[in-house]
Each structure stands twice: as C-alpha cells, then as structure tokens.
C-alpha cells in the first residue's frame, strides 16, 4: 500500500484559482532613479482576495503588443498599517514588464493583479529576534516584514541592506525614520558596493555576532548575494531552522548541473481528475511540460519560493533546481515543486491533487 503523504504544515498559501482583478493605481511614487512604488486600491475587490501577510507577493498581468506577461511583485506595504497595497518595481535592464510599468503606469491607471502568495512571511506572534538580509529590490518584502514586526510585536530586528551605491538605496529615508522611532529595536547596517565591493562571508559573520540562538532569518536579493549570505550563515553554527529565502530570478535549466542529463521520454500529469501523458521535450521543467501540452497547472513565482506549483511525484525521479519551501521530510514524502523540477528517468508521473 502506498504511504499517504503528510500534510504540508508550513506551505500555507497555495493559490490555484488564478483569479485576476483590475484595480486602480492611486499613486505612483518615485523611490530612486530606477524604482517606483505603485499604490493599488484593492478595496474595489470584495472579500478576502487581497488579504496578505507581510512578505507575500502578488502577480501582475500585463498585455504588451498582444503578448500576456505575468510577473510577481512583493508587497512593500504592511498589511496592518497601510490602507492601500503597495508594490515597488525596479527597472530591469532589457526587462519587458518592469520597463513597461515605469513607462506606462501613472496615478489613474488600472492594473490586473491576482491575489497574494508566498511563504516568505513573518510568523505569528513570537518575540524572537529577526535578522534580515536584503540586496537591492530585495528590500521590498523585507521592508513590509520589518514595519509589521515593529508595529505589532516587541521583536528586535537587524537588517543588513546591500546596494550598489547611495543613490540606489530604496526606502533610505523611511528606514531612517523607523530607526528614530524604534532606536532600541531596529539596527540597519547599509552596505554600499561603491565603497566596499560586494558583501562577503566575513561581513555576514560579523553582522550576526551576538544574534539570539533562536532568531528568524530572512534573505532576499540577487542570487549571488543570497548564496553568499546563506553559505556564510551555515559556517556560523546559526540555527537555520527558521531561515526563509525569496528569489526574484528564475533559475534556468541550461545553467543547471544536470542540464542535458535527462533520460525522460514521457511525463504523466494528473490535474483536476484528468490524466494526460505528454512527450517530454529536453530543457523543460515539469511545469513547462504541462503548459506545452495545453494543461494549466497552478503556478506563481516560478522561482521555487512559493509552493503554488507543488505536486506529488508518483513515479520516476526528478532534480529540483531550487527549493526554498519544502523540507527534506516533505521531499521524502514525494512532494516536488514542478516549476523547479527537471524529470530525469525515462518515465515520470506527477499528481497535482
């Protein structure tokens, strides 16, 4: 008899409904030369569709020249403090949607967004210290978490915030204001690459000296920054049980060590009670394999951070490029993130139920 999978206790935010709503943009705030915040009035949507937790993201859908693009943006607003929901978008060189947002959205525009998701969130209630690492636009969910924790708990917070140079620092003034209001609870260390080069392991180790043993850790920023911080933390003996990471950039199969090593010929997918067998095309994840066959599996961040795309591996083997969500126990129980899974064996079967 097949063992029943245990319930995924910490994967709390799967949103498979893909409901998108048009909401007004009430204001566009210029934060830095290449970053704007959009204030969204979600009160026009009834019910709980946009109830979110500090650290979560929404999905923005835009149509540009006849093509539809979905992109995730973390809330930089704090749920208990701000009436309007706010996202903060940094221009990405050559990026389709971020540049379109900068060049086309103003106060009075409407945007199409779907409800929040993600597990890079502030846990409830406790008084544990918070240690956060943010790089560039990675400050957006961290800013929400910091403001929420300061306002709703007595937690102490340390933030290491890395940027290219002073002009790139998003929310610089607002962070200073928070330090003034909470001088004994909030410490912010700014790192500027222009002064000191990029963040290295020694800086991370020094930054966490004296941190409480049971602290909650949050890391969000460019991939190399996150890798440096995570690797350095592992050498400090810190208890990383409560480490949460959020990646903004999708890993690509071609850059993965197992690129080209897949033997897979067919993928069986069960979704909404329907089974489909698809010929596997080299270079696709399981999520992309389903989409290529006209199936619409649930998905959101596509970076391995939100768990919306989880499924059970019923047969065969996969390699996950990134996993910021599932525990080893959950993986042992057969859960996989389909957006990150490269099928490896001749035949692979997955079940989204």
List residues near ligand FAD by CB under 6 A: 57, 71-74, 87-90, 92-99, 118, 137, 140, 246, 248, 301, 303, 305
Helix (H, G, I), strand (E, B) or coil at 130: strand
Nearer to ligand FAD among residue 98 and residue 114 (C-beta): 98
246 phi, psi to nearest 5 deg? -135, 120
Nearer to ligand FAD among residue 3 and residue 255 (C-beta): 255
Nearer to ligand FAD among residue 147 and residue 349 (C-beta): 147
User: Residues 111, 38: contact at Cβ < 8 Å?
Assistant: yes
Cα–Cα distance between 144 and 148 in angstroms, integer? Answer: 6
Nearer to ligand FAD among residue 56 and residue 262 (C-beta): 56
Nearer to ligand FAD among residue 238 and residue 303 (C-beta): 303
Q: How far is the CB of 306 from ligand FAD (least distance, A)?
A: 6
Nearer to ligand FAD among residue 61 and residue 242 (C-beta): 61
User: Residues 71, 97: contact at Cβ < 8 Å?
Assistant: yes
Question: Which stretches of 208-353 are DSSP H helices?
Answer: 223-234, 286-292, 328-332
Q: Order of strands across the sheet with 347-351?
A: 274-279, 266-271, 347-351, 310-315, 335-337
The residue ranges of DSSP E strands in 172-306, in sequence order, are 186-192, 216-220, 243-246, 266-271, 274-279
Q: How far is the CB of 236 from ligand FAD (least distance, A)?
A: 26
Q: How far is the CB of 106 from ligand FAD (least distance, A)?
A: 18
Q: How far is the CB of 99 from ligand FAD (least distance, A)?
A: 6
Tell me the residue number closest to ligand FAD, measured at CB: 95
Q: How far is the CB of 57 from ligand FAD (least distance, A)?
A: 4
User: Residues 91, 100: contact at Cβ < 8 Å?
Assistant: no
Q: How far is the CB of 120 from ligand FAD (least distance, A)?
A: 7
Q: Which residues contact 249 (CB under 8 A, 6 or more apart)?
A: 222, 223, 303
């Amino acid at each position: 008899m097949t063992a029943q999978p245990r319930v995924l206790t910490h994967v709390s935010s799967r949103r498979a409904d893909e409901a998108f709503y048009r909401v007004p943009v009430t204001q566009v705030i210029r934060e830095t030369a290449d970053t704007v915040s959009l204030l969204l009035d979600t009160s026009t949507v009834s019910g709980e569709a946009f109830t979110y937790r500090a650290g979560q993201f929404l999905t923005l859908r835009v149509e540009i020249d006849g093509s539809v693009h979905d992109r995730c943006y973390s809330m930089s607003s704090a749920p208990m403090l701000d009436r309007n929901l706010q996202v903060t978008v940094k221009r990405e060189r050559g990026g389709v949607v971020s540049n379109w947002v900068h060049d086309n959205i103003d106060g009075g525009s409407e945007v199409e967004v779907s409800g929040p998701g993600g597990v890079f969130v502030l846990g409830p209630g406790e008084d544990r210290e918070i240690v956060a690492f943010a790089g560039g636009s990675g400050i957006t969910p961290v800013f929400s978490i910091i403001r929420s924790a300061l306002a709703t708990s007595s937690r102490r917070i340390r933030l290491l915030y890395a940027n290219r140079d002073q002009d790139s620092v998003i929310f610089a003034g607002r962070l200073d204001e928070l330090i003034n209001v909470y001088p004994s609870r909030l410490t912010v260390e700014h790192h500027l690459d222009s002064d000191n080069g990029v963040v290295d392991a020694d800086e991370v180790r020094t930054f966490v000296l004296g941190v409480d043993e049971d602290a909650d850790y949050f890391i969000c920023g460019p991939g190399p920054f996150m890798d440096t911080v995570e690797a350095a933390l592992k050498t400090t003996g810190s208890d990383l049980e409560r480490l949460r990471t959020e990646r903004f950039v999708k890993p690509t199969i071609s850059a993965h060590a197992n690129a080209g090593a897949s033997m897979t010929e067919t993928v069986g997918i069960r979704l909404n009670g329907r089974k489909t067998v698809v010929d596997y095309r080299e270079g696709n994840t399981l999520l992309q394999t389903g989409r290529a066959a006209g199936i619409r599996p649930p998905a959101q961040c596509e970076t391995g951070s939100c768990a919306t795309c989880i499924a059970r591996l019923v047969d065969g083997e996969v390699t996950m490029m990134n996993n910021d969500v599932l525990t080893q126990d959950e993986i042992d129980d057969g859960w996989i993130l389909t957006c990150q899974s490269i099928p490896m064996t001749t035949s692979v079967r997955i079940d989204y139920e």
